[in-house]
Chains A and B, each alone.
Chain A
Amino acid sequence: MAARLALTGLLLLAMPSGGVASEALEQPAFPTRTIKIMAPANPGGGWDQLARLIQHTLREQKIVGVPVEVINRGGAGGTIGLAELVARHRGDPYVIMIGGGVLVGSELTHGSPFSLRETTRLARLASEYEVIAVPANSPFRDLQSLLEAFRETPAAISWGGGSAGGLDHVLVGLIADSVGIDPARINYVAFPGGGDAAAAIMGGKVTAGISGLAEWEGLAASGRMRLLAISAPRRIGDGSIPTLIESGVDVSLENWRGVFAAPGIGPAERDWYLRTLAQLRATEAWREILRRNSWEDTFLAGAEFDEFLDLEYEHMRAILDRIGLGHGGQGYAVVGPYFFPAVIGAGLLLSLLMMGLAGRRASIAARRSPAVPGHDAFIPLPKASIATTGEPNWPRFGFGAGLTLAYILLLLPLGFLVATPLFIVAQARVIGSRQLRRDAVVALLLTAAIYGAFRHLLTVEVP
């Protein structure tokens, strides 16, 4: 594996032959400024964790000479971050992204217009495996008994795991498939994450659950749940958990995670990343991280990684289609996704009707007797100050709202430092100020202060 990587690296270096030396003299060596690792998820998930661990190790081991930042772009199973990487950062070698098997699944389920295959593939770093767990007092002591019950009455077994279409769901589908049950009939209950699914298992609310080993190891060790099997090709760690294959289910599934760069970056930069990642992987600190998180070192780069990725797409598409989720299908759910919207829609119409009727009743009553100052206003003010507040009108509001929208839209093109003072002065004028000079001074000071505080103290990205 390492030899192949070295060979690939050498080939990459050799390719732009004579050009390399002169290139190095003409341009400063990459990188010269901050590198950003994007985790296409909110803080606290697996990708975010990997991004921060990479950041940490790169800094601690002084592998790179520039600062490394982690930015979060969560949403839609990672496809929002993917879209940003491919569309907004094309050609920018300073942004890399964490991705993995889950992202492939999200891409297919959400019908994402952008694909991981469009990115510059760097390397697969590590994998973890999924475990199947049951409550501590469950009648099922091993996977075989669980599957027997599953085979007899599929509807009687409920499976808890992460969001629909995610890896947990896929594994249940694969298991069902292998024991001859139609994956579209699985009783799958989706939770926001492994933590909530764990709570459901520990409380005995679901028959069985699926999640990553690292999430549930501790809970199993303390006797709160029983781990029946793991989706690895062979036993890992202390070898106490039998594999699916050993238990008679010919399925192995890895939750692999890797690093990807934006499309259109140069071969020199790509090669730099490959070298850096290989260096990272070789450190003792990294090995310690893998061990602590129960991750397997499945480093893979170059052509082999590309091949692996293509296979992943094929496999994912096949199983997602069988579960009924490929291409944005609806999968199995007793109550569909349009039930509640329909109920709410009906509620909206009904309440509008009632509002209309109440309005008519009120105006009829008002005609009969002099109007009493009503207190329907949501923030009823103490009587004394009613006289001192104004009554807003649509035209003035239109100005204020329109100005605000203009500010928002111009924020990126003009930048915070230019747009903000202009906005503050203009908006103050709309609200009623006539002291232009005072406003301008305050606006400039405020902008500078906010910029300084946010950008440097809190390290927030400011346009």
Chain B
Amino acid sequence: MDSIFQTFSNLGSGFGLALSGVNFAYGVIGVLLGTATGVLPGLGPAVAISLLLPMTFGLDPLAAFIMFGGIYYGAMYGGAITAILVNTPGCAASAVTTFDGNPMAKQGRAGTALATAAISSFVGGTFATLMLTFLAPMLVEVALLFGPPDYFSLMLLALTMIAAIAGRSAAKAAFATCLGLGIAMIGIDQQTGAARMTFGIPELYGGIDVVIGGIGLFAVGEALWVAGGGGEKTQFISTRGARLWLTTAEWRRASTAWMRGTVLGFFGGVLPGSGGTIASFLAYIVEKRVSRRQSEFGRGAIEGVAGPEAANNAAAGGSLVPLLALGIPGSATTAVMLAAFQMYGIQPGPLLFTGNASLVWGLIASLYIANVLLVALNLPLVGMWTRLLKAPQELLYSAVLVFSTLGAYSLKGSIGDVVTVWVLGVLAFGLRKYQIPIAPVLLGLVLGPLLEQEFRRSMTLSGGDLSIFVRNSISLGFLMLALFSICGSIWAARSARKAEAAGGMVS
């Protein structure tokens, strides 16, 4: 009890600091910048923060971190804007939002989708920050319980659930997944230093980054699809009866999705290594599985936007737990933030709360404020964004290609990255032409490295003994869930085929 009062009073003084003029202003700037970088394919929060780091040198550390927090959360929302409007997600974590967000836009519900995304981001981010505030020490202990076998089984579970997002052909889904996993194998192997499938090209030594994968497969892929003739026959994207808000029914459906997405995303973010992208995929899969309207998914089901968007913001909040409590960065963005901390001579970790308490509480308070700013600034802009749809398609998608090129280039100043993005875009076109789903490719790319590395680490630890995966209770739990998941998919597919054979089209 004592510690809760203590927490509240610390938080209170934190708010006092965070709401002071300069700090608040930087919060606003951060959220706006973050949303902007999220919108642009390629520029993610990690890049944005590292680019803005030198500018913050003269600033008070609290102001700088408030800005970074705003950028992080803002970017997680920003990616949804282009994902919904033009089917080209600004960052990999928003790739999932295209599944239902874009169909919603095509149905004239772009405003609804954007508003949902903003509110979902707010809910996810706020709850994550709440849990960060009160539960950080406990969460850290839970996170430390996860060892290589547990991570592997979790990733395997995620893999088995791919069927839920992969359309009706299991073979095509499997093919796409293997393709993604294969692409993930390119590069220098972490465990042994051996070069795999690099064909002697130094640019490939580092492997294919998830950001590159996201831009290439989704953003460039979509733009090239339109270039090849797949766009609307009319010049403008249809915005029949544009609606800007949610109906009561939609609110109800979305609110349960928020809860699930937030919890999933937050815990996903707490585990170092798994981040917003995996969290958003899992949230979508879970939403589809528990929904009574499974057939609506992929056609504008609001849960398909609400769940993942809440998840990726919650994951951003979750990833701050290991950073602040242990000094362990769990994602590229938190790695940059760690560097930022060190620039200011602050070492995050167990000593942070004792040595720099006011800074930490100011930071946490600023995260709440960033969330509120996010929704307050962006909701009124929803109407403005929907007008983007009125832009002529030819210019819109050409611009998308320019942004993707620049975004990919800005990662490492390498044209090689941009060429990779282009190759992936061409691949995406080919897959789509043969009606092979693209999302499993990205998921394979994201999961592949973790799946493989954790498997091999586990085997090294156990000396080649496979039973390590069942001896650890967490790992065993995930494996059993994976088994249920596979059985469930097979059963569902079989009953669907029976119903179809009985007559009528099953959608």
Where the two chains meet, the residues of A that have a C-beta atom closer than 8 Å to any C-beta of B are 42-45, 48-49, 52-53, 55-56, 59-60, 69-77, 79-80, 83, 109-110, 112-113, 155, 158, 163-165, 187-193, 195-196, 198-200, 202-203, 205-206, 214-215, 217-219, 221-222, 224, 292-293, 325, 328, 330-341, 344-345, 347-348, 350-352, 354-355, 357-358, 372-382, 384-385, 387-394, 396-397, 399-401, 403-405, 407-409, 411-412, 416, 420, 423-424, 427-433, 439, 442-443, 446-447, 450, 454, 458-463
Query: For the complex, what is the distance from the CA of A59 to the CA of B58, rounded to whole Å?
Result: 10
Return 30 A-B CB contacts under 8 Å, by A number.
A42-B332, A70-B54, A71-B413, A73-B413, A83-B202, A195-B327, A203-B145, A205-B148, A222-B349, A331-B193, A332-B192, A334-B460, A348-B175, A348-B178, A351-B175, A373-B505, A377-B432, A380-B298, A382-B300, A388-B232, A390-B231, A390-B232, A392-B230, A393-B229, A396-B227, A407-B405, A446-B395, A446-B402, A458-B51, A463-B409
> Cβ of B429 and Cβ of A392 under 8 Å apart?
yes
Q: Which of B185, B235, B298, B426 has a CB less than 8 Å from the CB of A341?
A: B185
> Cβ of B426 and Cβ of A325 under 8 Å apart?
no
A429 contacts which chain B residues (CB < 8 A)?
A: 394
> Cβ of B189 and Cβ of A337 under 8 Å apart?
yes
Q: Which of A75, A192, A219, A374 has a CB less than 8 Å from the CB of B205?
A: A75
A378 contacts which chain B residues (CB < 8 A)?
A: 167, 432, 435-439
Query: For the complex, what is the distance from the CA of A265 to the CA of B77, rounded to whole Å?
Result: 46
Q: Which of B171, B185, B238, B330 has a CB less than 8 Å from the CB of A344?
A: B185
Given A164-B189, A164-B190, A344-B182, also A351-B174 (CB < 8 A) = yes
Which residue of chain A lies nearest to B423 when distances are taken between CB atoms in the complex? A405
B292: CB under 8 A from chain A?
no
> Cβ of B399 and Cβ of A43 under 8 Å apart?
no
> Cβ of B299 and Cβ of A392 under 8 Å apart?
no
Given A79-B205, A388-B233, also A432-B272 (CB < 8 A) = no
Q: Main secondary structure on chain B at its contact with chain A?
A: helix
> Shortest Cβ distance from B393 into chain A, in angstroms?
6
Query: For the complex, what is the distance from the CA of A9 to the CA of B123, rounded to whole Å?
Result: 62
B106: CB under 8 A from chain A?
yes
Given A195-B327, A222-B349, A348-B175, also A164-B181 (CB < 8 A) = no
Given A195-B272, A382-B106, A408-B419, also A461-B410 (CB < 8 A) = yes
A69 contacts which chain B residues (CB < 8 A)?
A: 54
B360: CB under 8 A from chain A?
no
Q: Which of A198, A377, A388 has a CB less than 8 Å from the CB of B435?
A: A377
Query: For the complex, what is the distance from the CA of A409 to the CA of B436, rounded to whole Å?
Result: 29
Q: Which of A113, A399, A424 has a CB less than 8 Å from the CB of B402?
A: A424
Query: For the complex, what is the distance from the CA of A447 to the CA of B405, rounded to whole Å?
Result: 13
Query: For the complex, what is the distance from the CA of A110 to the CA of B203, rounded to whole Å?
Result: 13
> Cβ of A394 and Cβ of B228 under 8 Å apart?
yes
A72 contacts which chain B residues (CB < 8 A)?
A: 50, 412
> Shortest Cβ distance from A134 into chain B, in angstroms?
15
B146: CB under 8 A from chain A?
yes
B455: CB under 8 A from chain A?
yes
Given A80-B205, A292-B345, also A165-B193 (CB < 8 A) = yes
User: How many chain B residues touch the partner (CB < 8 A)?
Assistant: 134
> Cβ of A344 and Cβ of B228 under 8 Å apart?
no
Query: For the complex, what is the distance from the CA of A375 to the CA of B295, rounded to whole Å?
Result: 11
> Cβ of A325 and Cβ of B202 under 8 Å apart?
no
A-B pairs with the 7 shortest C-beta distances?
A400-B227, A397-B228, A44-B335, A75-B206, A222-B350, A76-B205, A354-B171
> Cβ of A347 and Cβ of B272 under 8 Å apart?
no
> Cβ of B51 and Cβ of A341 under 8 Å apart?
no
Query: For the complex, what is the distance from the CA of A450 to the CA of B351, rounded to whole Å?
Result: 43
> Cβ of A344 and Cβ of B338 under 8 Å apart?
no
Query: For the complex, what is the distance from the CA of A43 to the CA of B337, rounded to whole Å?
Result: 9
> Cβ of A218 and Cβ of B349 under 8 Å apart?
yes
B493: CB under 8 A from chain A?
no
B326: CB under 8 A from chain A?
yes
Given A222-B351, A397-B227, A442-B395, also A79-B202 (CB < 8 A) = yes
> Shortest Cβ distance from A113 into chain B, in angstroms?
8
> Cβ of B422 and Cβ of A405 under 8 Å apart?
yes
Contacts A202-B326, A404-B220, A439-B395 known; 14 new A-B pairs at CB < 8 A: A76-B205, A80-B203, A164-B190, A195-B328, A330-B193, A341-B182, A347-B177, A348-B179, A351-B175, A375-B168, A409-B415, A411-B415, A431-B398, A460-B406
> Cβ of B406 and Cβ of A333 under 8 Å apart?
no
> Cβ of A163 and Cβ of B205 under 8 Å apart?
no
> Cβ of B395 and Cβ of A433 under 8 Å apart?
yes
Q: Which of A328, A379, A411 has a CB less than 8 Å from the CB of B193?
A: A328
> Cβ of B188 and Cβ of A110 under 8 Å apart?
yes
B191: CB under 8 A from chain A?
yes
> Shortest Cβ distance from B471 into chain A, in angstroms?
13
A292 contacts which chain B residues (CB < 8 A)?
A: 345
Q: Which of B194, B229, B409 has a CB less than 8 Å from the CB of A328?
A: B194
> Cβ of A390 and Cβ of B422 under 8 Å apart?
no
